[in-house]
Amino acid sequence: MLAASSAFVGTNGTMFKVNGQQLRLSGANNYYLAFAPDSMVEPVFDLAAQLGLNVLRTWAFLDSEDLTSGWTTPANGTAPVCFHYWDSVAAKPAFNDGPNGLERLDRTIALAEQYQIRLILPLVNYWKDFGGVPQYLKWFGLTSLQNFYRNTDVKQAYRDYVEHIVLRENTRTGRRYREEPAILAWELANEPRCVDDEGHPIPDGVDTLTAWVDEMSAYLKSIDPNHLVSVGDEGYFKRKLAFGNNLYNGSFGVDTERLLALPTIDFGTCHLYPQFAAEKDPVAFGTNWIREHIEAGKKANKPMIIEEYGWKAIDSDPNTSRNAAFQVWLDQVIDNGGAGALVWMIASSMPDGKLYPDYDGYTIYAAEDVPAIVAYSQSVASDA
């Protein structure tokens, strides 16, 4: 089991630390880990242990229109699950604290402690999957995505949810979430952007998102001084000499270097997928992307993690090319002094015994398919 409050993860310059020891992250993403049934969740922790991982990233949100329209397990049709929904009687968002609600997240945090794996928990999705920003806007009869960062009612609803989560008492451990050592960090959002409803740039997109991050990270720190806070952004830059390149010109409303410079943001994140730059060699692109982001972290004197990296399996070559790319990228993380990397994504079986569907082509089901990750985890463990 993880120790009590002394085991909270902190930072020391560009690296994480815990109990005075350096901690480099070897991890994975799994979006259903917080709210799926036990029969789906425990096998994911088992796979994480086989891979030698020390961190998992999963959603601490599940926003729903109402209590009857939440997430259901594929192929078994169980009752809907949601964390956050619209209460039509009170005419405001409400929280589902029961067994088909936040007790599922209680379970996941307790399991993480049991497996000695820490969690990174984003608090809302920018995308419509599992509710996210579009659901917040729908609750309040709004349409423009920018209103999530600007509208007073929406911002208050987000703060209310953050407060409810951070101060929640875990039914499994008896601790408030802000006291849970198994939580490594909160993320304000998964992949936030500030663009118009068609995805086009807006003149004040970077300023608007940066101001929101500044406000919400300060609020989160004020109610939970124990845990690290990050943005959860994809790592897009805004650089004057990068006209025409969407990864570098701020057109997504994201300037990862400005976000990283905020005093209430503890570490930086970036996401790595070859389709970001389809015209470039994917392995070389990833190598450069990793190096640039670690350098940005060094400039801010904060850790930088590659918190999502993925490679689509090819039918004729499902694992070899992917593993080779992972080997190169993970070597870059170590060689350049990066603070960690989390693959997208791992999954296991469903209640009917079938594997969870590979919806996006990135899913990993077995440790033997990615020996590069196992080797990286072993290297991370030997450095601790």
Rounded Cα distance, 162 and 167, in Å: 8
Residue 320: other Cβ atoms inside 10 A: 12
Residues 6+ apart with CB under 8 A from 181: 2, 3, 4, 5, 7, 8, 113, 118
Token pair 């300060």 is found at 218
Residue 110's Cα: distance from chain center in Å?
Answer: 19
DSSP state of 313: P
Q: Which letter, b or e, does each residue of 179-200 get, where b requires 16 or more Cβ atoms within 10 Å of its Cβ? A: bbbbbbbbbbbbbbbbbeeeee
DSSP-assigned states of every residue in 172-239? TTSSBGGG-TTEEEEES-BS-----TTS---TTHHHHHHHHHHHHHHHHHHH-SSSEEE-------B-
Residues 6+ apart with CB under 8 A from 383: 22, 24
Sign of CA dihedral 119, 123, 127, 128: positive
Q: Which residues are catalytic?
A: 191, 308
Q: Which letter, b or e, does each residue of 120-144 get, where b requires 16 or more Cβ atoms within 10 Å of its Cβ? A: bbbbbbbeeebbbbbbbbebbebee
- 3-class SS of residue 376: helix
